[in-house]
């Protein structure tokens, strides 16, 4: 089992979500997040006053899936979330030790 964490541009959420469901992801978690990447923050100047802009608004998608699905999912997110412009985001892949469905107590694959 792996967890994919993808940071993407907000307007790409629908595309990625639809793609992942079509691929067979059973569920996903979406969060509105703020942060920075290689660009860091930047300064905006308005009428001589400086405004520090530290973070950019992005969407974080988290989805847990079986190992076999991971490479397809990564390819899909990459394809759907790509604009070719700066700030397209990143995908992180993390190992997941176990999963438990709270209602039934099922574990592992069955709980995804």
Partner 1 sequence: MSAPSDELKQARNKLLSLFSCGETAEDFQAHYTQIVDEYFRRSVQESETGQTLFRDKRPFALLALGGYGRGDLCVHSDLDVMILFNSKVPSSARTLAEDLFYPLWNMGLDLGHGIRSIQDCLSLGGEKFEFLTSLLDARFLCGDSPLYLDLMERLARKLLAKKALALRRWLEEQHQRRMAVFGDASHLLEPNLKEGIGGLRDYHHLLWLAKAFFHVRVPKDLEILGILSHKEYEDLETHLRFIHLVRNRLHQDSARRNDRLTFEHQEGIARALGFKDQDGLLAVEQFLSQVHASMASVKSLHRSFVFTQFPGSRKNGSGSERSAELCAPFHVDQGEICFPSAVAILSDPLLLLDIFAEAAKTGRPLALESKRLIREFLHLLDDSLRRSQRAARAFLSILNSPKACDVLDEMLETGFLCALIPEFEAVKDRVQFDHYHLFPVGRHLLQTLRHLKTLYRERDLLLTDIFLDLSEPEPLFLAALFHDIGKTGKDHARRGAHLARNILKRFSYDRKKTDHVHFLVLHHLLLAETATRRDLNDEKIVVQCAGMVGTVERLKMLYLLSWADGRATGPRAWNDWVANLVQELFFKILHILERGELATPDASRRVKQAMAEVRTLIGEKIPPAEADALFDGMPSNYLLETSPRSIARHITLHEQLWADVARGTAGAFRFEAAAEPSSGTWEVTFLAKDRAGLFSEVAGVLALNNINILSARIFTWRDGTAVDIFTVTPPVDPLHTEVIWERIQANLAETFQGRLVLADGLRQKAKPSLLSWKKTLTRLTEVMVDNDSSDFFTLIEVFTHDRIGLLYRITHTLFTLGIDIRIAKIAT
User: Does position 53 bind partner 1 by CB under 8 A?
Assistant: yes
Element (H, E) at 17: helix 13-23
Nearer to partner 1, 43 or 95 (CB): 43
Tell me which of 22, 40, 46, 68 binds partner 1, using CB under 8 A. Answer: 46
Task: For 108, list phi and psi in degrees, rounded to 5.
Answer: 60, -145
# binding residues, partner 1 (CB under 8 A): 20
Binding test (CB under 8 A) with partner 1, winner from 32, 67, 106, 110: 32
**Overall size of the chain counted in residues:** 112
| CA-based torsion, 77, 83, 84, 89: positive or negative | negative
The stretch among 15-23, 44-52, 68-76, 94-102 that binds partner 1 (CB under 8 A) is: 44-52
Per the CB < 8 A criterion, the answer to whether 82 and 31 are in contact is no
CA distance 44 to 42: 7
Alpha-carbon distance of 16 to 86, in angstroms, equals 18
Q: Which is nearer to partner 1, 34 or 103 (CB)?
A: 34
6, 8, 9, 16: which one binds partner 1 (CB under 8 A): 9
Residues found near partner 1 in the complex (CB under 8 A):
9-11, 32-34, 44, 46-47, 49, 51, 53, 55-57, 83-87
């Amino acid at each position: 089992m792996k967890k994919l964490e993808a940071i993407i541009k907000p307007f790409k959420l629908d595309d990625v979500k639809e793609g992942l469901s079509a691929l067979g992801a059973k569920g996903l978690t979406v969060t509105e997040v703020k942060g920075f990447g290689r660009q860091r923050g930047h300064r905006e100047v308005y009428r001589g006053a400086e405004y520090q802009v530290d973070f950019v608004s992005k969407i974080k998608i988290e989805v847990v899936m079986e190992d076999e699905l991971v490479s397809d999912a990564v390819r899909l997110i990459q394809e759907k979330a790509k604009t070719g412009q700066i700030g397209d985001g990143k995908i992180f892949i993390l190992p997941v030790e176990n999963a438990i469905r709270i209602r039934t107590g099922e574990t592992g694959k069955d709980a995804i």
